[in-house]
Amino acid sequence: MNHNQLLKFKAPTVLIEEWIYPAITGYWLVLVALVLTCFAFATTTQAQLPSPTPDGGYPNGNTAEGDGALASVTIGSNNTAIGFDALGLNTTGSDNTATGLEALLSNTDGALNTATGFQALQANTDGNGNTATGADALLDNTTGSDNTATGAGALLNNNTGTDNTATGNSALESNSTGSQNAGYGRGALGQTTSGSHNTAAGYQALVRNKTGVNNVGLGFDAGFNLTTGSNNIEIGAN
């Protein structure tokens, strides 16, 4: 009687062991397989990622950070390019600093230029000694030299004009070939295209002057009605 009871008691124990151990073993095998699969996938993904752009270490004292920055440089030296395509086409130009997307993008052999801001001095090819601070500042400048533009769109359309100073958003915005102009304030000398030797200080001072030369406008809207006249001094709103 006792012997039969013992057999009845042991029988289910054997069945439980036969079911549990394979189940546990199978669980761990599946888990290990999943871990290995994830590891292999991560390794493959990492291998497909592009390597980071080097920080400095370029020949001739050049430094570049960003996709396409200084991508075409050959013998140019001492250039610093930070941002997508900054100084991207520069080949022989030296001592340039470009910070911002496409800043000084088209520069090939221009030297001593500083561009800070989105597309600042973007079209410059061989102009020298220009300083552009602000989005689109001196955007269209190609060969003009020794210009200073501070503010979004300042001297935006300048092409070959030289020795101009524009401080304020859209100051001297339309100037193309005019030289030795100084515009201080938003929109100052904003419509000047070829006029030279003009000085305007104040919001939209001499804003409508296009071809006039040797004019001075001081104050809010000073010389507002002046378009082509020359050798004028305008003080205060008109």
Of the listed ranges 13-22, 118-127, 184-193, 227-236, the least confidently predicted one is 13-22
Domain membership flag for residue 191: no
Inside any domain, residue 89: no
Residue 179: partners with Cβ closer than 8 Å, 6 or more residues away: 161, 162, 163, 164, 196, 197
Q: What is the pLDDT of residues 57-112, one digit of tens each?
A: 688 999 999 999 999 999 999 999 999 999 999 999 999 999 999 999 999 999 99
User: Distances from the Cα of 136 to the Cαs of 8, 94, 157, 209, in angstroms?
Assistant: 91, 22, 9, 22
pLDDT band for 211, please (50, 70, 90 cuts).
Answer: very high
pLDDT tops 50 at residue 48: no
Note the pLDDT of residue 29.
Answer: 60
Is the residue at 167 inside a domain?
Answer: no
| 14 found inside a domain | yes
E strand or H helix that includes residue 9? helix 2-48
In-domain check, residue 188: no
Instruction: Specify if 6 maps to a domain.
Output: yes
Q: Could you tell me which residues come within 8 angstroms of residue 155 by beta carbon, excluding any fewer than 6 positions away? A: 132, 137, 138, 141, 147, 149, 161, 164, 166, 171, 172, 173, 175
The percentage of the chain sitting over the pLDDT mark of 90, rounded to a whole number, equals 74
DSSP state at residue 221? T
3-state secondary structure (DSSP) of residue 211 = coil
| pLDDT digit string, tens, across residues 136-159 | 999 999 999 999 999 999 999 999
- The 3-state DSSP class for residue 144 equals coil
Q: By residue range, what is the domain housing residue 33?
A: 1-49
Q: Greater confidence, 173 or 41?
A: 173
**Alpha-carbon span 96 to 81, nearest angstrom:** 8
Q: pTM (2 decimals)? A: 0.77
* 10 within some domain: yes
pLDDT at 165 over 70: yes
Q: Is residue 204 part of a domain?
A: no
Give the number of domains in the chain: 1
The residue among 163, 164, 157 whose CA lies nearest residue 142 is: 157
